[in-house]
Structure 1
Amino acid sequence: MYIRGEHNPPHFHALYAEQEALIDIRTLAVIEGKLPRRALVMVLEWANEHRDELMEDWNLCRAKQLPKPIKPLE
């Protein structure tokens, strides 16, 4: 997530190598871009486990505050 310039719907940016996807926090749908299937599966699993934290960070970013760290997929 970026502190400045974020726009609705609530989403996060997932990066893998030179590829990027924007993923809707509420639906976990890819809004824009793409990732390799294996990477996308892992990102969606992580996002599903941390959806509440992602929404909290989204709200912090919209308020121009730093997001809190979220644990990686284990």
Structure 2
Amino acid sequence: MTAADAQTREKKTKTKKTKPPATQARAKPSVKVTHQPSPSEESRAERERRLYRECQGRPNAGACLGYTRKP
């Protein structure tokens, strides 16, 4: 193999263009997801009342943090 052959092979490998996969070429549109509460889910007020009730007399830590005494 001569130096000229090596140079032509190098040029051929550099000029080859590879096509990106089809999944990368197209940009997918963003999807907006909205939260739909389940019918059994408790409201914020119900949760606060339950936590005040359940956390009476317990240490002010963990799930009871801020719910040991009513403001």
- The bucket for the TM-score relative to the shorter chain is under 0.3
TM-score (normalizing by structure 1): 0.19
TM-score (normalizing by structure 2): 0.20
Structure with larger Rg: 2
Of Structure 1 and Structure 2, the greater helix share is in 2
Larger relative contact order (CA 8 Å, sep ≥ 6): 1
Of Structure 1 and Structure 2, the greater strand share is in 1
